[in-house]
Amino acid sequence: MALNKKPVTGMKDILPEEMEIREYVQRVISETYAGYGFTRIETPCVETIENLTSKSGGDNEKLIFRILKRGEKLNLETAKTQEDLVDSGLRYDLTVPLVRYYSNNSSVLPAPFKAVQMGNVWRADRPQRGRYRQFMQCDIDILGESDNLAEIELILATTSTLGKLDFKNFEIRINDRRLLKAMAAWAGFAEESFDSVFITIDKLDKIGIDGVKAELLENGFDSAVVEKYTELLDKATTSSEALSCIKETLADALPDDVKDNLDTIITSVDASKSADFKMVFDPTLVRGMSYYTGTIFEIAMPEYGGSCGGGGRYDGMVEKFTGQSVPACGFSIGFERIIMLLMERGFKVPGSGSAKAYLIEKGISGDRLREILAKASEERKEGKKILTVRMNKNKKFQKEQLEKAGYTEFEDFYREALK
């Protein structure tokens, strides 16, 4: 029986045209982030199962690709639970590995520590447009900075990158988890039910305020509480001064610094941005990760109709590893979705059009072949991209295929004379 030539569901082969774009985008990301003082790091793709299931990854912990114990440690006969079989797993994001990395190496790292990390992650998710089971993530994080300068720098660096890739008219939606909790508490929801409430309001843009109200009632919440909550949501989402509206309504229920913090981030980014985008306060923005403790933000692209990246402040995670509180904030750009959008718009890598192919007739060898290869070497020294390949019988079709691959110049070499 023939082997399966297709990739595993939710994973994909990357063809040369896309690979060229991916490498270019990674270069832009690396160079831009380096200009903001971020340092490139790398972590293993495998983490201990205890780290991956530490209630730091929200619903992503349900999507872990688990790895069986090896050798004598794996005993199928005595195993009674999954924990008896598994001791590690593929990382589902880059934040948990980063925090472990920082906790292990903080004594030799600068403070604050500004990190760039790019690498594949894996989630046993349902594949769909722009969503895979193996995909590249590109994160920047600042650890050891409690001031909102961290959020400002993260947003400016990320949006500058998107601007260099010619993305325009996108939005950075921003909110604060403390504001979300204050709204829920003010309406009368019990603290233990907050996550359930947030899951519902995260659907507001899809099901509308009436849909949110209906789902909250279906989940068994008190009708008076639901009415009070959805009235505030409706008022906040339709007001031109939503943040002031919420602050005025919640009064002492909202920590004093939340509004000032968001105002400072929004106005500072607006005053310093280099890309064409808008900062938008969105009181319904939730972000799925349970580890967020304060500011949260998300990239909304009109071409995609959904999130193309996001992040926020996660001040409590390092403490789980070290017992010491360390402020932390990060922003992940939606690498795969950015690549998809660039491919759909027919993006060409700048400077990639000057490729030349040497078509060498079969049978050419010895001094003649060495002469041709020496000429190719000289052209490469001049910075040209030269492909040396044997000439096919159907030279016209061969050139058509090479043109599709980006080759715009051709030179033919025959046995009898150099042409």
pTM attached to this predicted model:
0.87
CB atoms within 10 A of CB 8: 9
- Dump pLDDT digits (tens) for 325-343: 999 999 999 999 999 999 9
Q: Name the architecture of domain 170-297.
A: 2-Layer Sandwich (3.30)
The class of domain 7-163+302-351 in CATH terms is alpha beta
Is the confidence at residue 392, as pLDDT, over 70? Answer: yes
Q: Give the model's confidence band at 419: pLDDT under 50 very low, under 70 low, under 90 confident, else very high.
A: very low
User: CA 380, 386, 390, 391 torsion: positive or negative?
Assistant: negative
Q: E-assigned strands of 223-281?
A: 277-281
Q: What is the residue-wise DSSP string for 98-136?
A: HHHHHHHHGGGS-SSEEEEEEEEEE-----BTTB-SEEE
What's the mean pLDDT when you consider all of the chain?
A: 90
Matching CATH topology for 7-163+302-351 and 170-297? yes
137-146, 307-316, 344-353, range with the lowest pLDDT: 344-353
Ordered by start, the domain boundaries in the chain are 7-163+302-351, 170-297, 355-413
Instruction: Pick the more confident residue, 31 or 257.
Output: 31
Q: Which DSSP symbol is given to 166?
A: T
- Which amino acid is present at 205? D
Q: Give the model's confidence band at 289: pLDDT under 50 very low, under 70 low, under 90 confident, else very high.
A: low
